[in-house]
Chains A and B, each alone.
Chain A
């Protein structure tokens, strides 16, 4: 596809359940990023992948959050034992490489509501 694709676009889950959010980056983009945005707040960096390098997990808020990426393609963000404070839009982005001059493009996000 032409842009970053995320699924599901909306997810409502019960507190305590696990959820998986998927991101398909732009073809050929080796860098992939996950951000979280709570209602009315700014974007929080979560994690980023660059090729075969170890991912930068410095933004993950707790050990309930994890992410994987298969090669240079799809990534999955998993939230275990969801809590109400996890309710947010989760945004994925990709870039050709991690180099500062390469533009990062965002998807439209996955809206997560924990009830």
Chain B
């Protein structure tokens, strides 16, 4: 399985951009990078995913390096409600998501 490495925790000031890094050096050519977040013990919420190109949606932007060995999730204007555990996952071609421990993002006023 392609394994991901994320910092255990990060802080961000409210209104500033939150940049969450992820390393996935063993990713295979056609495996996608997914980001989910989990607030308290709710079900994981899908944020964004990408293969090679940078992606943007209403929630976030995903920047993937050219060699695809790392990526960064960007929340452009973090709010207190963005405090959560953020998971970076490489989805295997067989379909299932294998979750790591994620990054606990604390947005502070």
Contact = CB atoms under 8 A, between A and B. Distances in A.
19 contacts: A33-B96, A33-B97, A39-B41, A45-B96, A45-B99, A48-B96, A93-B44, A100-B91, A100-B93, A100-B95, A101-B32, A103-B34, A104-B34, A104-B46, A106-B44, A106-B46, A107-B43, A109-B41, A109-B42
Interface of B: 30-32, 34, 36, 41-46, 49, 51, 91-102
Interface in A60-115: 89, 91, 93, 95, 97-101, 103-109
Interface of A: 4, 31, 33, 35, 37, 39, 42-43, 45, 48, 50, 56, 89, 91, 93, 95, 97-101, 103-109
A45 B49 CA distance: 20
A23 to B, nearest CB: 11
Contacts of A50: 95
